[in-house]
């Protein structure tokens, strides 16, 4: 059983839809991350939250909007996406945002934009 | 810029045999951590092993060990006594001091363990 849970596992949405990805961690961590995984490309860090404050926005388009209401939950709100946004979106968490702290990942949400 | 190169997109190994996955990285920093993550078909990234750059001794975790060559910026993963459950995509990654906890990943090596 994973300590980082993502829902939904699969999502198909049209380019004009609004949807959200949800992440919940049960590890007592206080830093959370969104990564994008596309075929044949390295994982790309999108956002970092530490103690519920966004500390990193890695030049992500505004059609992706993160939200961290508390240290256990992280959302990624999606609107007017493009087909090239189709990918696996991985949520992760760590105890502290200090370098070297082990990052634990969820199983990902497969997003298909049609 | 920090980069990670995994030059073997795919590898296969017979069950019970030993396989080595290669990884090279580029950074001008002296202090950093290196990681190998495993991504099975479930897609969850699982930490396999980690190495602190200031430690000369190579890290080991049961059947998994690394060969860390700091001067060559090389960080290979050796899997001994390969098992069918080792079939997965393996990613090499590192994080530098002062860079928060932002991992830089390679493109991965798909390992298939065969009977």
* Tens-digit pLDDT profile for residues B19-77: 999 999 999 988 899 999 999 998 899 999 999 999 989 999 999 999 999 999 999 99
More confident call, A58 vs B93: B93
Q: What is the pLDDT of residue B40?
A: 94
Per-residue tokens: A102: 């082990």
* Euclidean distance between CA atoms A93 and A25, whole angstroms: 7
B67 neighbors B19 (Cβ within 8 angstroms):
no
B2 neighbors B27 (Cβ within 8 angstroms):
yes
State whether A107 and B107 contact (CB < 8 Å). Answer: no
Q: What is the pLDDT of residue A12?
A: 96
Using the Cα atoms of residue B21, residue B22, residue B27 and residue B28 in order, give the sign of their dihedral: positive
| Closest CA–CA distance from residue B46 to any residue of chain A (Å) | 7
Mean pLDDT, residues A26-36 taken together:
94
Q: Considering only CB atoms, which chain A residues are within 8 Å of B100?
A: 48, 55-56, 97-99
Half-sphere exposure of A7 (CA within 13 A, CB side): 3
Alpha-carbon Rg for chain A, nearest whole angstrom, is 13
Of A23, A22, A47, the C-alpha closest to A36 is A47
pLDDT single digits (tens) A63-110: 999 999 999 999 999 999 999 999 999 999 998 777 778 899 999 999
Q: Considering only CB atoms, which chain A residues are within 8 Å of B108?
A: 42
* Euclidean distance between CA atoms B26 and B97, whole angstroms: 14
Chains A, B: CB pairs < 8 Å:
64
Identify which of A55, A56, A88 has the shortest CB distance to residue B43: A88
Per-residue tokens: B109: 């090596």
Find residue A22's DSSP bridge partners: A7, A75
Judged by a CB distance cut-off of 8 A, whether residue A56 touches chain B is: yes
Judged by a CB distance cut-off of 8 A, whether residue B101 touches chain A is: yes
State whether B101 and A107 contact (CB < 8 Å). Answer: no
Write the CB contacts of A81 (distance below 8 Å, at least 6 apart in sequence).
A13, A15, A17, A63, A111, A113
Judged by a CB distance cut-off of 8 A, whether residue B99 touches chain A is: yes
Q: What is the pLDDT of residue A50?
A: 87
A75 neighbors A25 (Cβ within 8 angstroms):
no
């Amino acid at each position: 059983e994973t300590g980082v849970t993502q829902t939904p596992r699969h999502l198909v949405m049209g380019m004009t839809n609004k949807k959200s990805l949800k992440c919940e961690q049960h590890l007592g961590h206080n830093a959370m991350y969104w990564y994008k995984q596309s075929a044949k490309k390295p994982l790309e860090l999108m956002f970092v939250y530490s103690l519920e404050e966004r500390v990193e926005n890695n030049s992500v388009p505004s059609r992706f909007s993160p939200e961290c209401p508390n240290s256990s939950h992280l959302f990624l709100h999606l609107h007017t996406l493009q087909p090239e946004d189709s990918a696996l979106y991985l949520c992760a968490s760590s105890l502290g945002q200090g370098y070297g702290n082990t990052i634990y990942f969820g199983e990902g949400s497969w997003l298909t934009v049609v | 810029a920090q980069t990670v190169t995994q030059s073997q997109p795919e590898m296969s190994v017979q069950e019970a045999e030993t396989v080595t996955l290669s990884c090279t990285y580029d950074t001008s920093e002296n202090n950093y951590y290196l990681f190998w993550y495993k991504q099975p078909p479930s897609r969850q990234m699982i930490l396999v092993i980690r190495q602190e750059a200031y430690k000369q001794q190579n890290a080991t975790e049961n059947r998994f060990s690394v060969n860390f060559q700091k001067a060559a910026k090389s960080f290979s993963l050796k899997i001994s006594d390969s098992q069918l459950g080792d079939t997965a995509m393996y990613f090499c990654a590192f994080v530098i001091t002062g860079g928060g906890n932002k991992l830089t990943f390679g493109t991965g090596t798909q390992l298939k363990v065969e009977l």
